[in-house]
């Protein structure tokens, strides 16, 4: 049986060796978005709600699996910690984050390459640890969460963010209907390791869970050209050679086999807010 692409070390370079796949995917999804709050803004709201006055005294914040630094910038600008470390395993994304985020007044910004199972961060040092859309890349997400517990101060807060297993399933149906990948609806979810349905249970052995929020995000793609921009970035599909990473060719196949029309899909986003075991409020 083939390994889930999000858990396959052999596919890491293809997924995150360059920023282009993430850029294409985010741009297609952002233009399609019709409902759902921006994720970094929701993280900030949850931190303010659960950290109260301490949200003004966060000290060190770590943005785990920071990617291109989109959420790192919002966390730094809105929460004004004294220091923010963006940590990511992919050197290309760390370089991109440094370029995109630059300097932020009053915040010492630092982007580090590292593995979230062994973070180069001292014990009990962080006022806030955010891990958004990255724990599903771990074959051992509970170990990564134990590592988050290690770096949190006793009064620190963790915000973990993931998606539902069946996210974007209408896109799978489109890929199957067009014959791009007849098995498109039967592949294992990319989010199987850490998803909306198991994130609380993954956190519980090492963190006290304060809240879990689920929000439905909806996306309407204009038609095949727009849908192809998303489909071409999805590593789950078994596509004919030349289609993965090639929205133009993929759109041509869609036009050939399915009438063009807008397509709506969704993804439940789950936020788990937690603090170190036994911490007092």
Ligand X SMILES: C[S@@+](CC[C@H](N)C(=O)[O-])C[C@H]1O[C@@H](n2cnc3c(N)ncnc32)[C@H](O)[C@@H]1O
Q: Which residues are near ligand X by CB under 6 A? A: 16, 65-67, 70-71, 88-90, 93, 115-117, 132-134, 137-138
- From the CB of 162, what's the least distance to ligand X, in Å? 10
- Chain centroid to Cα 255, Å, comes to 30
**Least spacing, CB of residue 178 vs ligand X, in Å:** 25
Q: State the minimum distance, in angstroms, from the CB of residue 21 to ligand X.
A: 10
Give the nearer residue to ligand X in terms of CB position, either 71 or 253. Answer: 71
Cβ-closest residue to ligand X? 67
3-state SS of 199-260?
HHHHHCCCEEEEEEEEEEEEEEECCHHHHHHHHCCCCCCCCCCCCCCCHHHHHHHHHHHCCC
**Bridge-based pairing state of the strands 83-88 and 60-64:** parallel
Q: Residue 263: which of 170, 172, 167, 185 has the closest Cα?
A: 170
Give min distance, CB of 229 to ligand X, in A. Answer: 16
Nearest to ligand X of 71, 267 (CB atom): 71
- Decide whether 15 or 249 has the Cβ nearer to ligand X: 15
What is d(CA 69, CA 72) in angstroms, rounded to the nearest whole number? 5
Nearer to ligand X, 203 or 254 (CB): 203
Q: Closest distance between ligand X and the C-beta of residue 144, in Å? A: 7
Compute φ and ψ for 150, nearest 5 degrees: -60, -40
Alpha-carbon distance 258 to 6, whole Å? 29
Nearer to ligand X, 132 or 254 (CB): 132
Q: Which is nearer to ligand X, 70 or 167 (CB)?
A: 70
| Residues 6+ away with beta carbon under 8 Å from 84 | 60, 61, 62, 63, 72, 75, 76, 104, 107, 108, 109, 110
- Closest contact distance (angstroms) between CB of 134 and ligand X is 3
Residue in the structure block whose two tokens are 């134990």: 146
Q: Give the helix/strand (H/E) hosting 42.
A: helix 39-51
């Amino acid at each position: 049986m083939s390994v889930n692409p999000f858990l396959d070390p052999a596919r890491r370079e293809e997924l995150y060796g360059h920023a282009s796949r993430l850029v294409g995917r985010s741009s297609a999804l952002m233009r399609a978005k019709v409902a759902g709050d921006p994720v970094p803004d929701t993280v900030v709201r949850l931190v303010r709600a659960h950290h109260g006055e301490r949200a003004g005294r966060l000290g060190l914040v770590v943005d785990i699996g920071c990617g291109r630094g989109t959420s790192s910038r919002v966390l730094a600008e809105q929460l004004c910690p004294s220091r923010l470390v963006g940590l990511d395993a992919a050197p290309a994304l760390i370089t991109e984050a440094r370029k995109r985020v630059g300097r932020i007044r009053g915040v010492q910004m630092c982007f580090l390459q590292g593995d979230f199972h062994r973070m180069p961060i001292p014990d009990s040092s962080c006022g806030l640890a955010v891990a958004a859309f990255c724990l599903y890349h771990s074959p051992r997400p509970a170990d990564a969460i134990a590592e988050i517990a290690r770096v949190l101060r006793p009064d620190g807060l963790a915000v973990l963010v993931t998606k539902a297993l069946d996210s974007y399933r209408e896109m799978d149906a489109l890929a199957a209907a067009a014959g791009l990948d007849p098995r498109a609806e039967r592949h294992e979810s990319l989010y199987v390791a850490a998803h909306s349905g198991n994130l609380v249970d993954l956190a519980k052995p090492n963190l006290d869970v304060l809240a879990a929020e689920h929000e439905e995000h909806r996306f309407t793609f204009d038609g095949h050209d727009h849908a192809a921009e998303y489909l071409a970035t999805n590593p789950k599909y078994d596509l004919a050679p030349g289609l993965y990473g090639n929205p133009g060719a993929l759109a041509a196949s869609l036009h050939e086999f399915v009438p063009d029309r807008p397509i709506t899909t969704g993804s439940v986003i789950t936020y788990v807010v937690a603090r170190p075991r036994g911490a007092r409020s």
